[in-house]
Amino acid sequence: MSLALIAALPFLGALFPGLMIRAGRGPSALAAAAANALALLGLLIHAPAVLRGEVIHTRIEWLPGLGMDANFFLDGLGLLFAGLILGIGLLIILYARYYLSKSDPMGQFYTYLMLFQGAMVGIVLSDNILVLLVFWELTSLSSFLLIGYWKHLPEGRQGARMALIVTASGGLAMIAGMLILGHVAGSHDLSVILTQAGAIQASEWYLPALLLILLGCFTKSAQFPFHFWLPHAMAAPTPVSAYLHSATMVKAGLFLMARLWPVLSGTAEWFWLVAGAGLITMVIGAVIGLFKDDLKALLAFSTVSHLGLITMLLGFGTKAAAVAAVFHIIAHASFKAALFMAAGIVDHEAGTRDIKRLGGLRTLMPVTFAIVAVAALSMAGIPPLNGFLSKEMMLEEVLHAGAGGGWLLVVLATVGAAFSVAYSFRLIAHVFLGPVRSDYPHHPHDPGFGMWAAPALLAVLVVLIGLWPMTLAGGIVAAAAGAVTGGAVTVNIHHWHGLVPALFLSIVAVGTGLVLVGGHRRLDAIWTAVPRPEAKRIFDAIVDACAAVARGFTDGLHNGALTRYLAIFTLGVVVAGVWAFRTGTHAPGDRLLTEIAPVPVVAWVALVICSVLLMVLHRDRLLALVLIAVVGLMVSITFIYLSAPDLALTQISVEVVTVVLMLLALNFLPKRTPVESGASKRLRDLIVAGAAGVGVAALAYALMTRDFAFPTISDYHLAHSKSGGGGTNVVNVILVDFRGYDTFGEITVVGIAALLVFALTETLLRGGRANRRLLAWVPDQRRAGDRHPMMAVIATRMILPVALVVGVYIFLRGHNDPGGGFIAGLVVAIALLMQYMASGFAWADARQRLDYHALIGAGVFVAGLTGIGAWFAGRPFLTSDYGYVRIPPLEEFELATAAIFDLGVFLTVVGAVMLMLASLTRIAIRAGETVNIEPMDVDPSAPSHGTEGR
């Protein structure tokens, strides 16, 4: 099976449980299990080859330009981890099926779980570090969802947030570290990076990369001082704790340290950082664990401690230590997952997991007791179980590493081991041994087979691997350790090494552990009396402080004075422009200037006068509209003068529509802008505006007086407009053909803008303050006595057919002469608009059957369909075609698919403009504007006045 498929299967599997839950809890679990089992099967098919020492690759080119390809590889280490993830995953799915109660949304649970599983498998199989980072972040996110699965519990939400903050921050550091690593190695593929040990360790970037990557690994694997999130993550349902927080996710950090071991280890920095953090974590976790009364908290700290142990072994940097680390990963996954599941069973059946309220469960829950006894004894390192073997190996390595006078290392490791023994024994003694109590919250009994099958299987494995380590685990340990160290390793796991120092240390640890658990009551009293830093409180304080700083920063910058931001922004841009001008090199412009004729000077004077007047007189809003319309008109004249007939036509028609629109809106706005800013503030604004104006003018002048710095692509358009697009109006051909995709996007935007206006109107009219204000509207200006004068009514009606013909004409000639869909749409819209203005909304509306929404939709649809049509000719989206036809007695004329596209543009523009104006009209009607059914308020044929229709 392709490795990519193995990684994808859990993701595919994530889709089904959420859907299958409608069929029941069983099918939902089955769907998840099926995907999981299939992936596991695919993995196992590769196992023999990998155990022989082969490395399997799957390469899929994805974004080669970024060095990001979906490359996967499977070696011994990947096989070990993928096997753990998929194998234990299957057991967890079984266990969770019986653990979750009826009220828990099980479909969601399995979907999250499978997402997590896919992300984990992705991490361990990735060859490309960028892809690996994506999966890495995905584990943080899916673990957030799983920890917070019981959304109603505040501990769940807080624990999820804490885990996300800690692990995702580490993930960010990791991204930086990985990018450095990839940069130094010259490739983003792990299989290449792993061969570059010399170059990486010699690089000056080695230490930063190491620190950043270790930050990611330590946060993920809960190493000191980031260990605090793991116990809080125990708010998750127990299957999650067993899966994520003992067997898999927290081992992702270990995996990565093991994966990068060949290139990062072996230096003094690696030894001190990794082995040091591991040792501290191991001791602290074990000590705290002994004093936890919550079963899951005890196990969580024990996990922290064991993760520290493995980290320390990896930090030693020797081959034998790597073998010990790999073996302990297997041992820990087996006994800790079993213990977590058993803790879940106790919680589930006895109703509490507080050790102080338990005890004497041995006879009540014999099966659970057997599982816990085996697993906990293994955790304590009692022969012949697998935990004993790995602990012996650990102590052996500690003695080697501490040979040169590092007695402190030996002492601390032994202390850690002793506490480990103590909490393991406490788990058995205080929960299961002792007298049967009468005050359990529930009556405890063993659960059904479905619930204890998974931990029992793991407990059996603990025993079997303990008895025959070389037969059962020798091969995979050798393959994995070989992959970690990048060379062949000799694996030799035995119970009896003779009377070696490690054995004595082990005996000391067990003896001390027994003493500790014996004196637990007294020690506990001391422990509670001694003040200790509380990690959660420190974490909360840090988060609160960060939030306060961020809030202060935001409030300081963002005080609601929008105009001030705009002023600052404008000045910022001006300063950036000046700075660029001052620091850049430039030559004076030598382009031949066009000469100044008298007509443009007149237009220029009109434009400047109106602009300046606008600044002075803008408080009279009606006058301001007139002035701005003049400016728009002058801009249109500029376009026509400077060889842009299409632009001039568009600008002038848009101008009309815009002014009408603003007039309609102004009807409901104050007619005057009050004086609010003092003279100094206005002067300040004038200076800001003036600086920007001078800057823009200078920039425009500089641009226009120089020739193009690069050859323009316009020559291509000019050359191919006729031959390729079939039109002589190059601007129109660019719009509907060369850059048709842009135009398609733009008509969509215009359509959306119109719908937005409509939606805003709907919201305003639905009720609430705006609606009440409109209903109580009193016109602030005198109404016209004759709102629909006869002259206007008659004239517009006469003009309508002419205007429509002009619109059609402009549309048709557009491909070869100035015109086209945009302009034709505006012209037709204005023609219709005139009817509304002259004869009244209701009268006009009753005489046309166009639905503006449908018009917009049809326009976009037609344009899109034309584009798709190109596919049937086997060409890319929006490729146009044209031909010439001759229908006698007409002359030969051209037919182009671009014209159909332009029709779409036309329809959208008409629909959009009309919908916007119709929306404003609806506001007017709500405000009590009378609705006419007659075209004129005054009927000239009637003998007397006053037949105003309502």
Partner 1 sequence: MEILVASAIGVITMTGIYLVLRLRAFPMVLGMSLLTYAVNLFIFASGRLSIDMPPILSPDGAAYVDPLPQALVLTSIVISFGMTAVMVMMALGAFLETGHDRIDMTGPQEDEQ
Closest approach of Cβ 918 to partner 1, in Å? 12
Please state, in angstroms and rounded to a whole number, the distance separating the CA atoms of residues 758 and 913: 11
Q: Count CA within 13 A, CB hemisphere, residue 484.
A: 33
Does the protein bind partner 1 through residue 728 (CB under 8 A)? yes
Q: Which is nearer to partner 1, 359 or 645 (CB)?
A: 645
Closest approach of Cβ 586 to partner 1, in Å? 16
Strand partners, 672: 620
Judge whether 313 and 324 are in contact, CB under 8 Å.
yes
Task: Scan residues 184-213 and list those touching partner 1 (CB under 8 A).
Answer: none
For partner 1, the binding residue among 131, 284, 300, 730 (CB under 8 A) is 730
Best CA proximity match to 260, nearest among 216, 225, 227:
216
For partner 1, the binding residue among 45, 526, 550, 642 (CB under 8 A) is 642
Does the protein bind partner 1 through residue 562 (CB under 8 A)? yes
For partner 1, the binding residue among 151, 442, 551, 773 (CB under 8 A) is 773
Closest approach of Cβ 938 to partner 1, in Å? 31
Q: How far is CA 14 from the centre of its chain?
A: 18
Using CB under 8 A, which of the segments 131-139, 481-489, 593-601, 887-895 binds partner 1? Answer: 593-601
Write down the H helix ranges in 291-383: 295-316, 319-350, 366-380
Distance spanning both ends of the chain, measured CA to CA: 78
Does the protein bind partner 1 through residue 884 (CB under 8 A)? no
| Total residues interacting with partner 1, rule: CB under 8 A | 121
Q: Which is nearer to partner 1, 18 or 825 (CB)?
A: 825
Q: Which is nearer to partner 1, 24 or 693 (CB)?
A: 693
Q: Tell me how long the chain is.
A: 950
Closest approach of Cβ 687 to partner 1, in Å? 10
Question: SS in 3 state form for 625-689?
Answer: HHHHHHHHHHHHHHHHHCCCHHHHHHHHHHHHHHHHHHHHHHCCCCCECCCCCCHHHHHHHHHHH
Does the protein bind partner 1 through residue 436 (CB under 8 A)? no
For partner 1, the binding residue among 158, 169, 352, 570 (CB under 8 A) is 570
Strand partners, 883: 895
Closest approach of Cβ 556 to partner 1, in Å? 13
For partner 1, the binding residue among 919, 921, 932, 936 (CB under 8 A) is 919
Task: Scan residues 733-752 and list those touching partner 1 (CB under 8 A).
Answer: 734-735, 739, 742-743, 746, 749-750
Using CB under 8 A, which of the segments 8-16, 44-52, 415-423, 600-608 binds partner 1? Answer: 600-608
Q: Which is nearer to partner 1, 544 or 742 (CB)?
A: 742
For partner 1, the binding residue among 494, 497, 551, 722 (CB under 8 A) is 722
Using CB under 8 A, which of the segments 53-61, 356-364, 702-710, 862-870 binds partner 1? Answer: 702-710
Using CB under 8 A, which of the segments 94-102, 209-217, 536-544, 912-920 binds partner 1? Answer: 912-920
Q: Which is nearer to partner 1, 460 or 688 (CB)?
A: 688
Judge whether 420 and 332 are in contact, CB under 8 Å.
no
Tokens standing for residue 464: 């079997």
Using CB under 8 A, which of the segments 209-217, 238-246, 260-268, 618-626 binds partner 1? Answer: 618-626
Q: What are phi and psi of 620, to 5 degrees?
A: -85, 105
Does the protein bind partner 1 through residue 551 (CB under 8 A)? no
Helix 76-99 / helix 319-350 crossing angle, nearest 10 deg:
0
Q: What DSSP state is assigned to residue 787?
A: S
Q: What DSSP state is assigned to residue 353?
A: -
Does the protein bind partner 1 through residue 632 (CB under 8 A)? yes
Closest approach of Cβ 587 to partner 1, in Å? 17
Using CB under 8 A, which of the segments 27-35, 114-122, 629-637, 876-884 binds partner 1? Answer: 629-637
Does the protein bind partner 1 through residue 769 (CB under 8 A)? yes
Does the protein bind partner 1 through residue 703 (CB under 8 A)? yes
Does the protein bind partner 1 through residue 393 (CB under 8 A)? no
Please state, in angstroms and rounded to a whole number, the distance separating the CA atoms of residues 388 and 394: 10
Q: What are phi and psi of 61, to 5 degrees?
A: -75, 130
Does the protein bind partner 1 through residue 822 (CB under 8 A)? yes
Task: Scan residues 653-692 and list those touching partner 1 (CB under 8 A).
Answer: 654, 657-658, 661-662, 665-666, 668-670, 673-674, 676-677, 685-686, 688-690, 692
Please state, in angstroms and rounded to a whole number, the distance separating the CA atoms of residues 128 and 192: 10
Please state, in angstroms and rounded to a whole number, the distance separating the CA atoms of residues 405 and 414: 16
Task: Scan residues 509-528 and list those touching partner 1 (CB under 8 A).
Answer: none
For partner 1, the binding residue among 303, 761, 839, 921 (CB under 8 A) is 761
CB burial class (10 A; 0-12, 13-18, 19+) of residue 443?
Answer: exposed
SS3 448: coil
Q: Which is nearer to partner 1, 772 or 945 (CB)?
A: 772
Using CB under 8 A, which of the segments 18-26, 239-247, 510-518, 720-728 binds partner 1? Answer: 720-728
In this structure, how many other beta carbons lie within 10 angstroms of the beta carbon of residue 43?
24
Please state, in angstroms and rounded to a whole number, the distance separating the CA atoms of residues 252 and 393: 22
Q: What DSSP state is assigned to residue 848?
A: -
Strand partners, 532: none
Does the protein bind partner 1 through residue 814 (CB under 8 A)? no
* Helix H or strand E segment including 141: helix 129-147
Relative to beta strand 56-63, strand 68-74 is: antiparallel
Closest approach of Cβ 884 to partner 1, in Å? 16
For partner 1, the binding residue among 361, 484, 754, 828 (CB under 8 A) is 754
Closest approach of Cβ 911 to partner 1, in Å? 12
Closest approach of Cβ 547 to partner 1, in Å? 22
For partner 1, the binding residue among 60, 507, 542, 601 (CB under 8 A) is 601
For partner 1, the binding residue among 54, 155, 293, 817 (CB under 8 A) is 817
Using CB under 8 A, which of the segments 387-395, 401-409, 517-525, 594-602 binds partner 1? Answer: 594-602
For partner 1, the binding residue among 528, 554, 705, 848 (CB under 8 A) is 705
Please state, in angstroms and rounded to a whole number, the distance separating the CA atoms of residues 184 and 200: 6
Closest approach of Cβ 679 to partner 1, in Å? 14
Please state, in angstroms and rounded to a whole number, the distance separating the CA atoms of residues 380 and 313: 18
SS3 77: helix
């109660």: which residue's tokens? 101
Please state, in angstroms and rounded to a whole number, the distance separating the CA atoms of residues 786 and 936: 8
Indicate if the alpha-carbon torsion angle 265, 267, 269, 275 is positive or negative: positive
Does the protein bind partner 1 through residue 386 (CB under 8 A)? no
Q: Which is nearer to partner 1, 21 or 657 (CB)?
A: 657
Does the protein bind partner 1 through residue 591 (CB under 8 A)? yes
Q: Which is nearer to partner 1, 400 or 621 (CB)?
A: 621
Does the protein bind partner 1 through residue 576 (CB under 8 A)? no
Judge whether 859 and 911 are in contact, CB under 8 Å.
yes
């007397």: which residue's tokens? 944
Best CA proximity match to 370, nearest among 469, 467, 452:
452
Does the protein bind partner 1 through residue 921 (CB under 8 A)? no
Does the protein bind partner 1 through residue 608 (CB under 8 A)? yes
Angle, CA of 42, 44 and 46, to the nearest 5°: 80
